[in-house]
């Protein structure tokens, strides 16, 4: 029986504080503006991926995600496979003793530790894990920066999930995308007290896909060009400085303004794209009330292409922020476990908030289906835990 | 007993298709961009105002609106009184036989024929009627353009209610506001088939006032400058051409895009301003479905600083547009009367729409409290029906 080669990794989700929206090259996923995100802890949210190859596998590459066979014939997945194989071929060409892995069919098994129904952008973690796992399998000497260039072609924001902590994605200028790569602004350990509370909003279904949506925005929004050319470049600089200085007030204000700016360009699209709903707006209102009560910015909302709110805050303000949400939403799923147990429910703050924002609190109680408590975390981690057994068969994960 | 001088007018509501949002001079209500509106028929929506003056009145000017005494000490009302009195004084100075009306206290009684609770911007009709009524009382030779300059100081959009039909408001460049006046693009009779269906959305309460809101937008939105300097000037030209050519497709598309652009700059404000809610978005969705079914733009939504939808359409498409809304919302107030009786309920179209937009139709049925059917109409009309009797006392109107 032929040998089965295997390598595994986990990779994180990231949530942008300066949003990626708009491609200048849809094929290469080259963006119209730079972006910046916080990598979230993999103890709470991660994709676990095992890549394997073997001459004994059927000739078609195959990918199993959460137990479901996926189509790998799409241009994006193919681009990742092609680029990684090319790097492996270079290695093999320079050292003839290496097994010819690049020529073997790939079998990849991937699992998320969070519910797909949560509507979290899982493609970033998914493509980061896929690229990292194959790079491990092929024993490529590529840096995370090099891999970010490949993962970007799978899903734009995936490039940022190759790093931990606070991560930028430089839009770049080259037409071949060679300078459109992710870079680490600061590791998680530099500012480790960053926390994120995700309010998962029950939505009928996702509206416009982000790929379609962003291209329609580029084509039709008259406000979008100034966002891409003026607003974001300024905010990228402000945000990097805020992170360097661990200045949460600026971090929070720019995060909120950039989320609003992104959704404003969606609304300015024709036909308009709406990702925020009344529950999302209620989350904004409650964050505003929390900040007013604190007399400073201690909480910052941001929304991706969907209604879920992500609320960033620092551990030292946990009671003011997560504590109020726990008092309001303590009966929802997600408060159990080490992180949730630590959060002290803040009924007093909730009571005060309800004076100004009673309707908003009620909307959250009606519309939030679960919460996820997490914080800033590290980049992909190699693991020995394999999702494919020694015979090349998928392992049922726990 | 001293003589009581009286004059009465009615004045219309207008709903902008290119929105006014942002002041370059808050005191003079000078806008950061030009705007354009449709004047709505006074048979459906109007303010009726009687202005009177008499040496026998108590020395304080007084204003009664819908039976409630109003504060007239505000700078805006004072500016209108002052400018109109100055014009009267000029007349009196040139003809000593004229009674010295400018020196007499004013007593003004005003009534709207639509529910205040409807959340319709009544200040435009209100200030237009106030200025027109006093101009009639003073027998001023001022043109509607001259009066628009005065009414603008009361409420920006009031300047457009001095004309009927399709009305622009030129932003102007002079620091004293002398060139910031309304002008008629076309009279109602030029394109008389324009209809408007107003969906009145039950909202808890109005959020941010438009005066505060627009100044916060100017101060904080990074997208706003390009709207004011590029988007609106281009759309003003497109819209005037569309009206000249009676080109509803362009009229409708620009109307919808401009409403979205305005609300996008509200969302880009810090803190963000939300006037649209889930019911408003449902109205947008239903209009989109109507246009898709027609294969062309036959309906156009627009939203002022609140959740109410105004849907413009041409009389010839009444069954496609108002007919579908009547099928969905026929049990709401507002369908009775000559206009409503004419609308043929279109159950077939509704049934088809529900396939794509069932959730949206449901949201409208839950969230719309009443409808108002109207159309393009004329400017202020002098009337002999006085709201003040010969003794200077308010008359109970029918």
Range B192-201 average pLDDT: 97
Query: Which H or E element spans position B86?
Result: helix B75-94
**Three-state DSSP class for residue B61:** coil
Distance between CA atoms of B294 and B311, rounded to whole angstroms? 15
Confidence (pLDDT) at A2: 82
Whether pLDDT at A135 is above 70: yes
Closest chain B C-alpha to A267 CA, distance in angstroms: 6
Closest chain B C-alpha to A23 CA, distance in angstroms: 19
* A62 and A147 both lie in a single domain: yes
Report chain B residues whose CB lies below 8 A from the CB of A267.
260, 263-264, 267
Torsion of CA B151, B157, B158, B160, to 10 degrees: 100
Strand partners, B40: B376
> In which band, very low, low, confident or very high, does the pLDDT at A389 lie, cut at 50, 70 and 90?
very high
Q: Cβ(B63)–Cβ(B69) under 8 Å?
A: yes
Whether pLDDT at B1 is above 70: no
% chain A with pLDDT above 90: 92
Confidence (pLDDT) at B329: 97
> In which band, very low, low, confident or very high, does the pLDDT at A12 lie, cut at 50, 70 and 90?
very high
Return the biggest CA–CA distance within chain A.
73
A388 domain-assigned: no
Cβ-Cβ contacts under 8 Å for B272 (sequence gap 6 or more): A260, A284, B266
A389 domain-assigned: no
Confidence (pLDDT) at A397: 60
* A203 and A161 both lie in a single domain: no
Q: Cβ(A11)–Cβ(A128) under 8 Å?
A: yes
Confidence (pLDDT) at A98: 97
Confidence (pLDDT) at B202: 75
Confidence (pLDDT) at B131: 98
CA dist A56 to A4, A99, A143, Å?
8, 14, 30
Report chain A residues whose CB lies below 8 A from the CB of B277.
278, 281
Closest chain B C-alpha to A348 CA, distance in angstroms: 25
B308: domain CATH number is: 3.30.70.890
Which ipTM value was assigned to this complex?
Answer: 0.92
A125: domain CATH number is: 3.30.230.10
Confidence (pLDDT) at A25: 95
Q: Cβ(B379)–Cβ(B162) under 8 Å?
A: yes
* A331 and A288 both lie in a single domain: yes
Burial class (CB in 10 A: 0-12, 13-18, 19+), B70: middle
Q: What angle do CA A228, A229, A234 make, to 5 degrees?
A: 95
Place of tokens 């109109």: B84
A397 domain-assigned: no
**Three-state DSSP class for residue A366:** helix
B394 domain-assigned: no
Q: Cβ(B143)–Cβ(B182) under 8 Å?
A: no
Mutate to test the interface with B, among A216, A250, A268 (most CBs of B within 10 A): A268
Name the residue in chain B with its Cα closest to that of A300. Answer: B271
Confidence (pLDDT) at B346: 97
Nearest to A223 among B226, B271, B278 (CB): B226
Whether pLDDT at B208 is above 90: no
> In which band, very low, low, confident or very high, does the pLDDT at A211 lie, cut at 50, 70 and 90?
confident
Whether pLDDT at B191 is above 90: yes
Strand partners, A112: A47
**Three-state DSSP class for residue A285:** helix
Strand partners, A12: A46
B391 domain-assigned: no
Yes or no, beta carbons of A227 and B223 under 8 Å apart: yes
Report chain B residues whose CB lies below 8 A from the CB of A21.
none
Mean of the per-residue pLDDT values of chain B: 95
% chain A with pLDDT above 70: 97
* A332 and A348 both lie in a single domain: yes
Q: How many domains, chain A?
A: 2
Q: Name the domain boundary from A126, A154, A188.
A: A188
* A144 and A237 both lie in a single domain: no
* B355 and B302 both lie in a single domain: yes
B257 domain-assigned: yes
- Other residues' Cβ atoms within 10 Å of the Cβ of residue B116: 11
Range A62-79 average pLDDT: 95
Q: Cβ(B389)–Cβ(B353) under 8 Å?
A: no
Distance between CA atoms of B138 and B99, rounded to whole angstroms? 10
Nearest to B270 among A220, A257, A269 (CB): A257
Yes or no, beta carbons of B268 and A261 under 8 Å apart: yes
Report chain B residues whose CB lies below 8 A from the CB of A203.
none
B155 domain-assigned: yes
Nearest to B261 among A222, A230, A274 (CB): A222
DSSP string spanning A52-87?
EE-TTS-SS-EEEETTEEE---SHHHHHHHHHHHHH
Q: Name the domain boundary from A140, A159, A188.
A: A188
Cβ-Cβ contacts under 8 Å for B22 (sequence gap 6 or more): B31, B32, B33, B214, B215, B217, B218, B224, B228
Lowest-pLDDT range, B24-33, B276-285, B312-321, B389-398?
A: B389-398
* A307 and A231 both lie in a single domain: yes
% chain B with pLDDT above 90: 92
Yes or no, beta carbons of B222 and A222 under 8 Å apart: no
CA dist A395 to A109, A126, B70, B386, Å?
9, 18, 77, 87
Higher pLDDT, B262 or B113: B262
Closest chain A C-alpha to B172 CA, distance in angstroms: 23
Chain segment B104-121, per-residue pLDDT in tens = 999 999 999 887 655 676
Chain segment A174-204, per-residue pLDDT in tens = 999 999 999 999 999 999 999 999 999 976 5
Chain segment B2-50, per-residue pLDDT in tens = 899 999 999 999 999 999 999 999 999 999 999 999 999 999 999 999 9
Mutate to test the interface with B, among A217, A222, A266 (most CBs of B within 10 A): A222
> In which band, very low, low, confident or very high, does the pLDDT at A117 lie, cut at 50, 70 and 90?
low
A390 domain-assigned: no
Q: Cβ(B57)–Cβ(B393) under 8 Å?
A: no
Residue A291: which domain range?
194-375
Nearest to A270 among B257, B274, B359 (CB): B257
> In which band, very low, low, confident or very high, does the pLDDT at A119 lie, cut at 50, 70 and 90?
low
Distance between CA atoms of A330 and B333, rounded to whole angstroms? 41
* B133 and B198 both lie in a single domain: no
Closest chain B C-alpha to A334 CA, distance in angstroms: 27
Cβ-Cβ contacts under 8 Å for A117 (sequence gap 6 or more): none
Strand partners, A298: none
* B108 and B242 both lie in a single domain: no
Distance between CA atoms of B171 and B168, rounded to whole angstroms? 9
Range A5-11 average pLDDT: 98
Whether pLDDT at B86 is above 70: yes
* A176 and A199 both lie in a single domain: no
Distance between CA atoms of B277 and A276, rounded to whole angstroms? 10
Lowest-pLDDT range, A201-205, A315-319, B55-59, B291-295?
A: A201-205
Confidence (pLDDT) at B319: 97
* B31 and B83 both lie in a single domain: yes
* B102 and B128 both lie in a single domain: yes
Whether pLDDT at A39 is above 80: yes
Q: Cβ(B214)–Cβ(B23) under 8 Å?
A: yes
Chain segment A344-378, per-residue pLDDT in tens = 999 999 999 999 899 999 999 999 999 999 999 99
């Amino acid at each position: 029986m032929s040998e089965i080669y295997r390598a595994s990794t986990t990779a994180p989700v990231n949530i942008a504080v300066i949003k990626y929206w708009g491609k200048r090259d849809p094929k290469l996923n080259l963006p119209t503006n730079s972006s910046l995100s916080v990598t979230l802890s993999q103890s709470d949210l991660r994709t676990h991926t095992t890549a394997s190859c073997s001459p004994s596998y059927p000739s078609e590459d195959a990918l199993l995600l959460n137990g479901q066979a996926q189509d790998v014939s799409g241009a994006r997945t193919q681009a990742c496979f092609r680029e990684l194989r090319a790097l492996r071929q270079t290695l093999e060409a320079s050292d003839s003793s290496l097994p010819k892995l690049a020529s073997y069919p790939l079998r990849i098994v991937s699992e998320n530790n969070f519910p797909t129904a949560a509507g979290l952008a899982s493609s970033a973690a998914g493509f980061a894990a896929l690229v990292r796992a194959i790079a491990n399998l092929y024993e490529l000497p590529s840096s995370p920066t090099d891999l970010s260039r490949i993962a970007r072609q799978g899903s734009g924001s995936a490039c940022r999930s190759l790093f931990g902590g606070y991560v930028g994605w430089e839009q770049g200028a080259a037409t071949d995308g060679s300078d459109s790569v992710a870079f680490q602004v600061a590791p998680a350990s530099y500012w480790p007290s960053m926390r994120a509370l995700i309010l998962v909003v029950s939505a009928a279904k996702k509206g416009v896909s982000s790929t379609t949506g962003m291209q329609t925005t580029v084509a039709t929004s008259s406000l979008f060009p100034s966002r891409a050319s003026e607003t974001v470049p300024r905010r990228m600089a402000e945000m990097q400085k805020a992170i360097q200085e661990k200045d949460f007030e600026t971090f929070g204000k720019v995060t909120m303004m950039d989320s609003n700016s992104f959704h404003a360009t969606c609304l300015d699209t024709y036909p308009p794209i709406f990702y925020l709903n009344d529950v999302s707006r209620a989350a904004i209102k409650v964050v505003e009330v929390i900040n007013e009560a604190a007399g400073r910015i201690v909480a910052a909302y941001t929304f991706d292409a969907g209604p879920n709110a992500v609320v960033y805050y620092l551990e030292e303000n946990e009671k003011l922020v997560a504590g109020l949400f726990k008092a309001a939403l303590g009966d929802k799923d997600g408060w159990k476990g080490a992180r949730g147990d630590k959060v002290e429910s803040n009924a007093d703050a909730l009571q005060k908030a309800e004076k100004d924002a009673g309707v908003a609190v009620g909307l959250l109680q009606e519309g939030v289906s679960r919460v996820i408590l997490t914080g800033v975390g590290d980049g992909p981690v190699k693991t020995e835990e394999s999702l494919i057994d020694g015979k090349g068969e998928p392992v049922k994960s726990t």
